[in-house]
Amino acid sequence: MVRAAGMVSALTLVSRVLGLVREQVFAMLLGAGDYADAFNTAFRLPNLLRDLFAEGALSSAFIPTYARAMEEGGRARAHQLSSRLLTLLAVALGGLVLIGLVFAAPFVHALAPGFAAVPGKLDTTVSLARIMLPCLPLVAFAAMTMGMLNAQERFAMPAAAPAMFNVVIIGWAVLLWAMGFGPAAVAMGWAVGTLLGAAAQFLIQVPPLWMDGWRFRPEWAPDDPGIRAIASLLAPATVGLAAVQVNIFVSTVFASREPGAVSWLQYAFRILYLPIGVFGVAVGTVAATGLARRAAAGDLDGLRETLRRSISLVAFLTVPASVGLMVLGRPIVRLLFERGRFQALDTENTATALALYAVGLVAYTGVKVLAPAFYALGMPRVPLLASASAVVANLLVIAILHAALGFRAIALGVALGSLLNMAVLAAAFERRVGGLFTRPLAAGLLRMALGALAMAPMVGLGARAIEARVGTHGLLAQALGGLVPVAIGILVYAAASRLLRLPDAHALTIVLGAWVSGEERR
């Protein structure tokens, strides 16, 4: 599992780095102004389905069902199930796209009422949303093919597919920049590039499935037992994620009242998504397959052990990342974004949002590991209740603190809600299954926290010393101020891990070995 997670982490790292490059180009061309706010808000609708399908309910429901179909009926049965599901998705999401095209204007007005105060901002957002709506079925198709490959324990191509999404958009953005378009044309062109990137993410995964013998044969069969099994898992998970989207909806409503806030929050979460993707999604993707197989075999001891190892590995990587992002937010944001139309004030506000988001980083990644365990065990209502509790907590924080803190309350609410989400999942697993929090795991988590706390003052002092010596202007000064403290933090945490005898330090060497070799274990 660790070797496979290392390989997935390496490919996910490539994708996330490309995602940051994409955001850098976006920030340079549009900054955090009205057009950036309009695009980020317009992307909420296709992004809703991306969260739902790409790394959410469909994957969690489809992978165990597909694996069971392959176990019981062979590849022919599994391929039949996938074709039937793809047919259903095409019909359902095609209808949803048509509805979205008709009702885009009232939806955007409800999502971002504050935009009405700026002439033309609301209309621009509506136009961008309509361009990107066809992303919905493309993202769902990509998620399904990703699930098919993951269920066969072929993790490389699914992990690499999001990189293709970013490569296409970056290439398209370079073309927009070379043609010298203004902000309005760049925003529209970026929407078209997003649509092309979504198509590329799906199509790149078709060849390996084709070579494996899969052929899409349209077949309307909603009564298929496998489809019903997927629906039984998908329905409560969809409700849970719908609650999360309500959360995002309300957050955007509040953020739209503060010019630039939508973009500051988006840039901050993009940085946060690097460790979430590299650590949480990578380990969660590999763990989900192992959890599904062990649950299907009735091996609860193996399931507990897989879950404990996954949580420990994720925490080992994300605890220091959380502390590092809180301490080094400003130099990191400055290095990544402060150029072109992205100004110093944008850096300050984005870094503030990043520090607050980072409070919940361990929880964001932990949920990626814990939630699949309940789907594997046939308990989809537990993640639903955990997600709903997180939404309620987030909305309470925003409602109480937004008047005083502005956009900061939104980032803080998301972080605290995620912590509650993870706590509910962990408590429910311990109550219903048991054996999750053993003494070795608790001791290991405590030592990880001690190592991260030892790292914090070192990186903080290093960052201030470098800034005093070289300043903050120019790419070289920004690179030194952003990267050298990160290197110091890695070295200090690695040394602390060895002194504290953390077993995950050895697991990390296996991960790094998998990164170097690129080996895919089947």
Give the confidence band of 516 by pLDDT, cuts at 50, 70, 90: very low
Give the confidence band of 56 by pLDDT, cuts at 50, 70, 90: low
Give the confidence band of 468 by pLDDT, cuts at 50, 70, 90: confident
The pLDDT of residue 522 is 35
- Helix (H) or strand (E) holding 445, with range, is helix 439-470
Give the confidence band of 514 by pLDDT, cuts at 50, 70, 90: very low
The pLDDT of residue 269 is 85
Residue 10 in this model has a pLDDT that exceeds 90: no
The pLDDT of residue 219 is 83
Q: How many other CB atoms are found less than 10 A from the CB of residue 303?
A: 24
Mean pLDDT for the stretch of residues 396-421:
91
Across 257-261, 304-308, 325-329, which has the greatest mean pLDDT? 325-329
Give the confidence band of 412 by pLDDT, cuts at 50, 70, 90: very high
Torsional class of 471: left (φ above 0), alpha (ψ -120 to 50), beta (otherwise): left
Percent of the chain residues past pLDDT 70, beyond the cut: 86
Dump pLDDT digits (tens) for 362-379.
Answer: 888 888 888 888 877 878
Residue 137 in this model has a pLDDT that exceeds 70: yes
Residue 176 in this model has a pLDDT that exceeds 70: yes
Choose the weakest-confidence range: 47-51, 82-86, 289-293. 47-51
The pLDDT of residue 362 is 87
Dump pLDDT digits (tens) for 86-99.
Answer: 898 889 888 888 98
Q: Helix/strand/coil (H, E, C) string of 8-59?
A: HHHHHHHHHHHHHHHHHHHHHHHCCCHHHHHHHHHCHHHHHHHHHHCCCHHH
Instruction: State the average pLDDT for the chain.
Output: 81
Phi (first) and psi of residue 399, to 5 degrees: -60, -35
The pLDDT of residue 236 is 66
Higher pLDDT, 339 or 127: 127
- Alpha-carbon distance 308 to 22, whole Å? 35
**Counting Cβ atoms within 10 Å, is residue 99 exposed (0-12), middle (13-18) or buried (19+)?**
exposed
The pLDDT of residue 520 is 39
Mean pLDDT for the stretch of residues 292-308:
79
Higher pLDDT, 375 or 517: 375
The separation between CA 188 and the C-alpha centre of its own chain, rounded to angstroms, equals 24
C-alpha dihedral sign at 511, 513, 515, 520: negative
- Alpha-carbon distance 115 to 364, whole Å? 30
Residue 353 in this model has a pLDDT that exceeds 90: yes
The pLDDT of residue 2 is 57
Residue 515 in this model has a pLDDT that exceeds 70: no
Dump pLDDT digits (tens) for 372-406.
Answer: 888 778 787 888 888 888 888 988 999 899 989 99
List, in order, residues 6 or more apart from 123 with CB less than 8 Å away. none
Whether the CB-CB separation of 205 and 142 falls below 8 Å is answered with: yes
**Counting Cβ atoms within 10 Å, is residue 90 exposed (0-12), middle (13-18) or buried (19+)?**
middle
